Amino acid sequence: MLKLSKVSKIYEGKVAYRALTDINFEIEKGEFVAIMGPSGSGKTTLLNIISTNDQPTTGEVEIDGNNPHKLNKNALAKFRRNELGFIFQDFNLMHTLTVEENIVLPLTLDGARVKDMKEKAKRLANSLGIESIMKKRIYEISGGQAQRVAIARAMIHEPKLLLADEPTGNLDSKASKDVMGMLVSINEKERTSLLMVTHDPQAASYSDRVVFIRDGKLHSEIHRGESRQAFFQKIIDMLSLMGGDGNDFSSVRI
């Protein structure tokens, strides 16, 4: 589904900085993978390269058989809209629009029929438990609701790969659990592949596999077994084994 081969990234500047070194990495269709690592380890760089917001310096990215970095501008815009979904820490919603308008926004870009868009939005809203707030504006709803709206917007094109950067970063622990539960249910029902960067071991424990990166290199990975609680503990143990500068996981919510 997603394959990275020897991906390296060097940020050019007065002093060139090597942010990623020889990353080989694969995600199977329907897999849910979390990426963790200390701040500055290259997580956002990696996500930006996969989401095609940034180019690798060397190496190849393959998503569902295509190398998006080789597409021209128009084809790339279409590819991003149809194949990828994005979820961000700060939700990235349009504050003055309603929930419904935000959800259908990606479809309006494709010139879809209003009736079809509304039906699709309604189905998604029902499955995410936000059908009662469709007419509200973003500034009138809670963070947890906003992230569900963002998930609905990301899912409206039925993407094959959902990319999430700290999706629970601005949520309290109850809202985090709800949002993670919904991501898992989408992953299971739609078989959408999911790649999530997170600092939060609780959130990571919902994934099938956690990949740890450090200093721009793959460090290790662990798989979820039977119990989420045991997986959570394994994640905590790995994070403490990796160390860091002591503040990296200060935002950990236990």
Ligand X SMILES: Nc1ncnc2c1ncn2[C@@H]1O[C@H](COP(=O)(O)OP(=O)(O)O)[C@@H](O)[C@H]1O
Q: Which residues bind ligand X (CB under 6 A)?
A: 11, 13, 17, 19, 37, 39-45
Q: What are the structure tokens assigned to 146, written together?
A: 């906003």
Q: What are the structure tokens assigned to 11, written together?
A: 């940020």
Strand order across the beta sheet in which 17-27 lies: 17-27, 2-11, 58-63
CB of residue 90 to Mg ion, shortest distance in Å: 13
The backbone region for 156, taken as left when phi is positive above 0, alpha when psi lies in -120 to 50, beta otherwise, is alpha
CB of residue 14 to ligand X, shortest distance in Å: 10
Query: Which entry of ligand X, Mg ion, none binds 37, CB below 5 to 8 A by partner kind?
Result: ligand X
Which of positions 32-61 make contact with Mg ion (CB under 5 A)? 43-44
CB of residue 52 to ligand X, shortest distance in Å: 15
The sign of the dihedral angle between the CA atoms of 137, 140, 141, 146 is positive
Size of the site for Mg ion (CB under 5 A): 2
- Between 48 and 102, name the residue whose CB sits nearer to Mg ion: 48
- Between 44 and 57, name the residue whose CB sits nearer to ligand X: 44
Residue 245 neighbours by CB under 8 Å, 6+ apart? 38
- Between 158 and 245, name the residue whose CB sits nearer to ligand X: 245
The backbone region for 152, taken as left when phi is positive above 0, alpha when psi lies in -120 to 50, beta otherwise, is alpha
CB of residue 64 to Mg ion, shortest distance in Å: 25
Q: Is 66 in the site for Mg ion (CB under 5 A)?
A: no
- Between 116 and 245, name the residue whose CB sits nearer to ligand X: 245
Q: What is the Cα–Cα distance from 253 to 169, expressed in whole angstroms?
A: 10
Distance, first Cα to last Cα, the chain: 33
- Between 35 and 162, name the residue whose CB sits nearer to Mg ion: 35
Query: Which entry of Mg ion, ligand X, none binds 244, CB below 5 to 8 A by partner kind?
Result: none
Q: What is the Cα–Cα distance from 236 to 116, expressed in whole angstroms?
A: 45
Query: Which entry of Mg ion, ligand X, none binds 41, CB below 5 to 8 A by partner kind?
Result: ligand X
Amino acid present at 182: M
Amino acid present at 153: R
Query: Which entry of ligand X, Mg ion, none binds 17, CB below 5 to 8 A by partner kind?
Result: ligand X
Provide the binding-site residues for Mg ion, judged by CB under 5 A: 43-44
